[in-house]
């Protein structure tokens, strides 16, 4: 009887550890995305969870989901984003950078996701 209880507990503990590890990885990915946003985008966009964008035509990153499905931006980031406000510089991100930036964008959205 004791053995029957140990196996489910061990499986549950193992799954909990895996979940915690995934949460930690997601947090690290979002943090890397925050760094990318600050380095490449903060000149025009509000990249945090508060504040106005320095450029009046650049939407705050925390409100992007109101305009676009966030995951749909992946291709644009990887192929070279050259749309947006008129004086937006063109840039390209690696797959890893794109995933990090998307993770960060998802983490700061305020409401109304598409």
How many CB atoms neighbour CB 5 within 10 A?
A: 9
Q: pLDDT 10s digit of each residue in the chain, 114 long?
A: 455 545 454 555 555 545 445 555 678 999 999 999 999 999 999 999 999 999 998 999 999 999 889 998 888 888 776 666 667 777 888 999 999 999 999 999 986 545
Which two three-digit tokens encode residue 54?
């320095």
Give the domains, in start order, of the chain with CATH numbers.
2-108 (1.10.760)
């Amino acid at each position: 009887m004791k053995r029957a209880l140990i196996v489910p507990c061990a499986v549950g503990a193992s799954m909990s550890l895996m979940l915690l590890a995934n949460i930690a990885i997601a947090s690290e990915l979002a943090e890397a995305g925050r760094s990318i946003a600050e380095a490449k985008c903060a000149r025009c966009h509000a990249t945090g969870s508060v504040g106005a964008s320095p450029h009046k035509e650049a939407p705050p990153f925390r409100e992007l989901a109101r305009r676009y499905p966030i995951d749909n931006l992946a291709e644009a980031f990887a192929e070279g984003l050259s749309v947006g406000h008129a004086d937006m510089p063109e840039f390209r991100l690696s797959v890893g950078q794109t995933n990090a930036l998307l993770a960060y964008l998802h983490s700061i959205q305020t409401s109304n996701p598409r």
